[in-house]
């Protein structure tokens, strides 16, 4: 059963989009799940549209990472995406939790030789699910 959900979203042309991705890993968005909501199972889903700014038939490359706490924290999940012109990348991470501190997730991007521009939309969503207690078949 869904207990709590939080989302950060940036549509194309809003906030800092388009965002030129460089060879240095940069934080695109941070998501915080409060400690009071973090018991159960957390599912983090991220998606972003991006394009290859070179357009010279060289493949654009984008590395996306989900990190714990900050831009230098441990990598929880990652993917590498490539395209000739436009791409759409999705990342999904799930963990069972139960700590008393907030959970902080950072979505980062990196591209060697500046071969990617995040154009948007960019969405990162965290959902906390509570494990349901099954009733006995006789309803007791």
pLDDT in tens, 30-57: 999 988 776 789 999 999 999 999 876 7
Classify residue 135: in a domain, yes or no.
no
Classify residue 92: in a domain, yes or no.
yes
Classify residue 139: in a domain, yes or no.
no
- Residue 137: CB partners within 8 Å, gap ≥ 6? none
Question: pLDDT tens digit string along 78-111?
Answer: 999 999 899 999 999 999 887 778 999 999 999 9
Is pLDDT of 134 > 80?
Answer: no
Is pLDDT of 132 > 80?
Answer: no
Classify residue 140: in a domain, yes or no.
no
Q: Which CATH number covers residue 10?
A: 2.60.120.660
C-alpha distances in Å from residue 4, one per residue of 34, 35, 47, 72, 99: 10, 11, 20, 27, 16
Classify residue 138: in a domain, yes or no.
no
pTM: 0.88
Domain limits for position 54: 2-129
Whole-number pLDDT of residue 135: 47
Number of domains in the chain: 1
């Amino acid at each position: 059963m869904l207990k709590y959900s939080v989302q950060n979203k940036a549509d194309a042309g809003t906030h800092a989009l388009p965002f030129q991705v460089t060879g240095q890993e940069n934080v695109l968005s941070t998501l915080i799940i409060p400690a009071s909501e973090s018991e159960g199972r957390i599912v983090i889903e991220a998606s972003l549209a991006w394009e290859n700014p070179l357009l010279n038939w060289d493949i654009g490359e984008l590395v996306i990472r989900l990190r714990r706490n900050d831009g230098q924290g441990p990598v929880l999940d990652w993917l590498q995406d490539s395209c000739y012109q436009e791409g759409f990348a999705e990342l999904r991470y799930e963990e069972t939790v139960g700590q008393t501190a907030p959970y902080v997730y950072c979505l980062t991007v990196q591209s060697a030789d500046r071969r990617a521009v995040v154009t948007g939309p960019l969405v990162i969503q965290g959902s906390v699910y509570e494990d349901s207690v099954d009733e006995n078949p006789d309803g007791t």
